[in-house]
Structure 1
Amino acid sequence: MRKKILRLLATGLLAGIMLAGCGKKNEGEVNPAPSAEEIPQETPANTLEPTPEGFPTVSEREMVDGKMQSYLTGEWKDEKIVNRRPIAVMIPNNSPAMPQYGISKASIIYEAPVEGRITRLMAVFEDFDDLQRIGPVRSSRDYFVYVAMGYEALYCNWGLARPYVEELINRDTVQNISAAVEGIYNPAHEAFDRVSRPGYATEFTGYLFIDGLLEAAERLNYDWEYDNDYVPPFTFAADGVRAEDNYKEADDATMIYPGGHEGNKGGYGAYNPYFEYNNEDKLYYRFQNGEEQIDEMDDSQLAVSNVVFQYCHGEVRDDHDYLAFAVHGEGDAIVFTGGKAIKGTWERYDGDTTPAKFYDKDGEEIIFNTGKTWICNIWEEYGEFVEYE
């Protein structure tokens, strides 16, 4: 049965995305940029979010045989990896750029509309040491920068919408790995190169190379450690339980369409992406243009444990169709996990270095299943096109 989502009035103003960045708290001495093997043994002082009453969640990270649960996925990984700040990489999502390379290794994928009424991806990686490259890499928009700051990620891009990004991305509080283009004051030339892709436009041949990324971060004197007051983005179900068991009354949802079936100008109407839930492995598989969306690296289909629809007020800024989205404040949200659709809200009021948090109708943090998460920024004014069944 087709479900249409009624919009609630979001109190977050669009001007929120233009607020001055609060930045990293530790602006003094920084550590050299290491690989995962070189991360210090100390861990951040804070924990994952408190346990919602009545349901077991990951509430405090503990080390077991050299492993800890990730802030971004809740999965057990080498503690040196999960205590290292992630990278956030801008990746095109239009048909002439496909397929993308390395994206299946991302812990979080954030998708939002850009000019031309298509979407662009920002893939957030914490476990990238085994990757040679990621890409292709494309240009920045300011709302992506603000989202990356909430994860305390190093922001990686090739190009920028100068009128709206230049001042922001060059602040001391935005630690970025940017290709050498006009409008970037401290480029990371060693981190990027082109890959031969016969038949592809030049703009889809630029890639981020991990060895060069590490060299650039060290030269730029970036700190790889999370702040002690870092705020994790999600609350995860504890080992041995499934989040959907806490939401038995929620709607079932095994097919998810961020842009519905009809053509529309909300960003998801051009390539008609959707997610299909597999009850056997409990994953949502991504499709686009009627085909599986795959990673060129290993031909695997993109799949995640959680899908989020985050409704944001949006506006068209100028004659170039540059868009703006209010990624601070609050709005409606739907979290899809374990075949269920949990309706609620999102909030982000505590500055640029904290992420959006997701709450159910009772005001409790929504519990996610461990694994990767895909967040779709839904242009609120086009929310009527959202469907799930």
Structure 2
Amino acid sequence: MHIRTYGKKVVASLLCSAMVLSMVACGAEDTADGTSSGVSFEPINSETTNTDTASEAATEEVASGEPYVLPEGMYFSELTGEPISESIKDQRPIAAMVDNELTALPHYGTSEADVVYELMNSTKNDRITRLMCVVKDWGSIEQLGSIRSTRPTNILLASEWNAILCHDGGPYHNDAYFANPWAADHLSGYFSRVNNGKAREFTEYILPGDLESDIEKFNISATYNEYANPGSHFNFVEYGKELVLSEKYSNTYPGTVVTLPFKHNSSQLVYNADTKEYEYYEYGERHEDAEDGAPLSFKNVILQNCSFTQLDDNGYLIYNCISEGQLGWYLTNGEAKIIAWSKTSETGVTKYYDDNGDELQINTGKTYISLIPSDSWDSITLQ
């Protein structure tokens, strides 16, 4: 489905059909605390809906008062839409590959990432996933990792941000992608080793000074280059405002717990009504950063239905992430909405659309993105 060719009516039709299919496909699920609850797909703004504490918290707008005025020396981050120091406005973010195997836990520094991708890393080991942490203010990193290898999909996604991809090797399938000038700036295996009592593959971390030293050593531009996409990556609401899906759209659904079809780590996003963010769970526990115990949490959750191609018998793969008019979910403030997504080129930004065919607005803050294999898309459960 080609959004730009067929326009808004096609997007609306696509998403209308998807809503019907999703109501059939999603069923009961086990929540993070082990209890089971059926999924209700009555629209949140239906007259039959009984609003609970979580949804009441989700519908509270941030008091805006007078229009927000940026303090001197600040700008709105292209990653989060929030005010950050103007001194790093032109600085390229990094995209760090973080091992998500149980042995690699606890993670360091992931809770400070602006955007976190979770992708299937291999078709083997129950489709084990890996995280890619996109960080704008990498100069403040104390410890991030552990760092592991990358895959072709990560190269394509990092290119959207003009990010410096930080990894430790990968299969030969990467070589053709790194040969492109838009992907040439990457760092592999030049980070610090930390003696943590684990096998060597779990000991590599980005520590203070690593990035500065490596960027200089390999003559990599620390600032945006000619392959950068101008402006914000997402279509953020005005800072200080709060997007409430059920107030804007007629078809929204409960979205306080989403369980993903990744069998290896059983990842979930669980909405915390107090913080109004989604907390990441895996291996049956809430993810907490080893640096400060902070939960890995997000204002926005985006799920993309995406097919993949297996590249060899080792389970290496590439998601078919250059595509148009594909289905997705957007979750914020305990509510969920079916959306469409498109990425039109290797360096092109993935764009998200609502059922009017307009570019989707999302709340300011951190974002979790996962590309869900199409053959398990119907196994996503929402509560």
TM interval, shorter chain, is 0.7 to 0.9
Amino acid at match of 2:177: L
Q: 1:299 to 1:229 in 2, by over 3 A?
A: closer
Q: Does 1:160 align with 2:170?
A: yes
Q: Bigger shift: 304-313 or 77-86?
A: 77-86
Q: Does 1:123 align with 2:133?
A: yes
Match of 1:213 in 2: 211
Write the distance in 2 (CA, Å) between the matches of 1:325 and 1:348: 12
Partner of 1:156, secondary structure, is strand
Q: 2:378 aligns with which of 366, 369, 384?
A: 384
Match of 1:225 in 2: 223
Match of 1:313 in 2: 307
User: What percent of counterpart residues are identical?
Assistant: 29
Match of 2:360 in 1: 366
Structure 2: gaps of 5 or more residues: 1-19, 25-67
Match of 2:195 in 1: 196
Amino acid at match of 1:156: C
Deviation at 1:82, TM superposition (A): 3.6
Listed one character per residue, the Cα deviations across residues 300-356 of structure 1 (whole Å, up to 9, x for unaligned) are 11111001101111132221111221111121111111211121110111x222220
Deviation at 1:84, TM superposition (A): 1.5
Match of 1:240 in 2: 240
Question: Within 5 Å, which residues of 2 pair with 1:161-176?
Answer: 161-162=171-172, 164-176=173-185
Q: 1:253 aligns with which of 255, 263, 273?
A: 255
Deviation at 1:6, TM superposition (A): 7.9
Q: Is the 8 A contact 1:310 1:346 kept in 2?
A: yes
Match of 2:327 in 1: 332
Amino acid at match of 1:193: S
Amino acid at match of 2:196: R
Deviation at 1:132, TM superposition (A): 2.6
Partner of 1:275, secondary structure, is strand
Q: Is the 8 A contact 2:81 2:232 kept in 1?
A: no
Q: Is the 8 A contact 1:62 1:68 kept in 2?
A: no
Write the distance in 1 (CA, Å) between the matches of 2:310 and 2:231: 31
Write the distance in 1 (CA, Å) between the matches of 2:177 and 2:339: 31
Partner of 2:210, secondary structure, is helix
Write the distance in 2 (CA, Å) between the matches of 1:229 and 1:368: 19
Match of 2:4 in 1: none
Q: Is the 8 A contact 2:164 2:187 kept in 1?
A: no
Amino acid at match of 2:168: W
Q: Does 1:147 align with 2:164?
A: no
Write the distance in 2 (CA, Å) between the matches of 1:133 and 1:63: 30
Match of 2:29 in 1: none
Write the distance in 1 (CA, Å) between the matches of 2:314 and 2:23: 30
* TM-score, normalised relative to structure 1: 0.76
More helix as a share of residues:
2
Amino acid at match of 1:197: N
Q: Is the 8 A contact 1:258 1:376 kept in 2?
A: no
Question: Within 5 Å, which residues of 2 pair with 1:1-389?
Answer: 5=22, 64-115=71-122, 116=124, 117-162=127-172, 164-180=173-189, 189=190, 192-198=191-197, 200-226=198-224, 227=226, 229-244=229-244, 245-247=247-249, 249-259=251-261, 268-330=262-324, 331-349=326-344, 351-389=345-383
Amino acid at match of 1:251: Y
Write the distance in 1 (CA, Å) between the matches of 2:347 and 2:279: 30
Listed one character per residue, the Cα deviations across residues 88-130 of structure 1 (whole Å, up to 9, x for unaligned) are 0000111111111111110000111011211111000002222
Which runs of at least 4 in structure 1 moved beyond 4 Å after TM superposition?
none
Write the distance in 1 (CA, Å) between the matches of 2:307 and 2:229: 29
Deviation at 1:252, TM superposition (A): 2.0
Amino acid at match of 1:376: S
Q: 1:165 to 1:254 in 2, by over 3 A?
A: same
RMSD between superposed Cα atoms in Å: 2.2
Q: Is the 8 A contact 1:103 1:134 kept in 2?
A: yes
Q: 1:229 to 1:87 in 2, by over 3 A?
A: closer
Amino acid at match of 2:240: G
Write the distance in 2 (CA, Å) between the matches of 1:64 and 1:354: 31
Match of 2:45 in 1: none
Q: 1:80 to 1:62 in 2, by over 3 A?
A: farther
Q: Is the 8 A contact 2:77 2:232 kept in 1?
A: no
Deviation at 1:223, TM superposition (A): 2.3
